[in-house]
Amino acid sequence: MLTLRRRGFMSGAIAALATVLMVNACATSPVEPQADSAAPTGSAANTSPAELTTVRFTLDWAVQGVHAPIGVAIEKGYFAEEGLDIQFEPGSGSADAITKVASGAFDMGLGDINSLMEFNVNNPDTPVRAVAIYYNQSPMAIMALDESDITEPSDLENKTLGIPAGSATRRLLPLFAEASGLNLEAVDVPAIESRLQQTLLLTKEIDAIAPFTISALPNLAEAGYPEERLNIFRFKDYGLDLYGNSVLVPASYLESNPEVVRGFIRALTRGLRDTLNDPDEAIEIMSQFDDLFEIPLERERLQIAIDTLFLSPEVEENGFGAVDPERFQRSIDLVVKGFDLSEPPAADDIFDDRFLPDLSDRQLN
């Protein structure tokens, strides 16, 4: 595991308490923090690094604005106050994150709960549990440029829709087609590289893509295609009311480290609350974890997540991290059908709410 420490104005207290392990997708060497003589404050300041429990955490993708709650909780000492030293690295997609967590390469991670359902059915000997919902909505969508003649899903017929191989979006495409009236047999759906989706769309080598909204929208806007210049078909608008990424933990780790998991979620919740209260500050903090972090781009990405993924009436009622049982069961049924699973997983074998803080401590406002 390579080390990438934060640059910039990392405080002496947190630098001592939370060494961050991270590899940026494009980085070639560690970035060392600058010295800071700021005096330590708070209960975290009284905890020596040797007394902290190391938690190895894999992100779902490259370091982005949507991960700000994690960076904020590190910077402000929330994890250290729980006795935790969070060491995290970028990921290469949800499937990769789930596999790494299941294998024990990481203690915890961030990944798509829908892909987790398939993994657990196919790998009963190494089950992974979701312990907190990070995105209350799935960011799955299909996008086309506004100058195309794709203004509704059926217009994709006789067109090329590029989707990465094995992605949850690709697996659930037949359900989207069924719900939207799209004749999927009339659509060319080549497998493309995740990182090339926006490029292939902008160069018009393909007619449409099916990325996560938070991944594509900021990048397309930077290239001259803000949301109003795109035709977007969000899966949730066609009855696929799915949860998105979640905090993932091996079932074995849950049993042997329950207080670590509880402390992690408590600290993460505080980091998310601070992120929602001051997104600009959160982005400034997160920028210290990656020299290639683009603040305007990632600030926009974070805002999309705030508006469409983190917050919802359900979150207002049930607090951060929880699921609505009826909605969750419907999502399981959709995944079983879309992924053609051999058997439906039990809800308790996918999501474990025993480690969530009390409702009053999970409220975000």
Q: Are residues 326 and 247 in the same domain?
A: yes
| Residue numbers of the domain that contains 234 | 141-238
As a whole number of angstroms, the distance between CA 111 and CA 99 comes to: 10
DSSP string, 22-82: ---TT--S--PPPP--PPP-TGGGGS-GGGSEEEEEE-SSSS-GGGHHHHHHHHTTHHHHT
Domain boundary among 214, 238, 262: 238
Does one domain contain both 247 and 322? yes
Is 109 inside any structural domain? Answer: yes
Q: Are residues 319 and 265 in the same domain?
A: yes
Using DSSP's 3-state secondary structure scheme, residue 341 falls into: coil
Domain CATH code at residue 205: 3.40.190.10
Residue 160: inside a domain, yes or no? yes
Q: Is residue 4 situated within a structural domain?
A: no
The predicted structure's pLDDT at residue 166:
82
Asked if 69 and 101 count as a contact pair (C-beta separation under 8 A), the reply is no
Looking at 172, 206, 238, which one is the last position of a domain? 238
Number of other CB atoms surrounding residue 86 within 10 Å: 28
Cα dihedral value 288, 52, 133, 345, nearest 10: 130
Cα angle 309, 21, 103 (rounded to 5 degrees) comes to: 75
Instruction: Please give the pLDDT value at position 108.
Output: 98
Structural domain tally of the chain?
A: 2
Identify which of 31, 30, 36, 32 has the alpha carbon closest to the alpha carbon of residue 9: 36
Given a contact cutoff of 8 angstroms between Cβ atoms, the answer to whether 153 and 233 are in contact is: yes
Which of residues 207, 223, 238 is at a domain's end? Answer: 238
Predicted pLDDT at 40: 30
In a domain, 315, yes or no: yes
Q: Is the dihedral of CA 227, 228, 230, 235 positive or negative?
A: positive
208 and 153 within one domain: yes
Determine, yes or no, domain membership for 6. no
DSSP state of 140: B
**Residue 315 has which token pair?**
């979150």
Nearest-angstrom CA–CA distance, 344 and 341: 7
| pLDDT score, position 93 | 86
Half-sphere exposure of 283 toward its Cβ, with a 13 Å CA cutoff? 17
The string of pLDDT tens digits covering residues 218-271 is: 999 999 999 999 999 999 999 999 999 999 999 999 999 999 999 999 999 999
Q: Which residue positions in the chain have pLDDT lower than 70?
A: 1-50
Reading the block at residue 297, the tokens are 């781009």
Nearest to residue 158, comparing CAs of 208, 210, 200? 208
In a domain, 5, yes or no: no
- CB–CB of 131/253 below 8 Å? no
Q: Are 163 and 210 in contact (CB under 8 A)?
A: yes
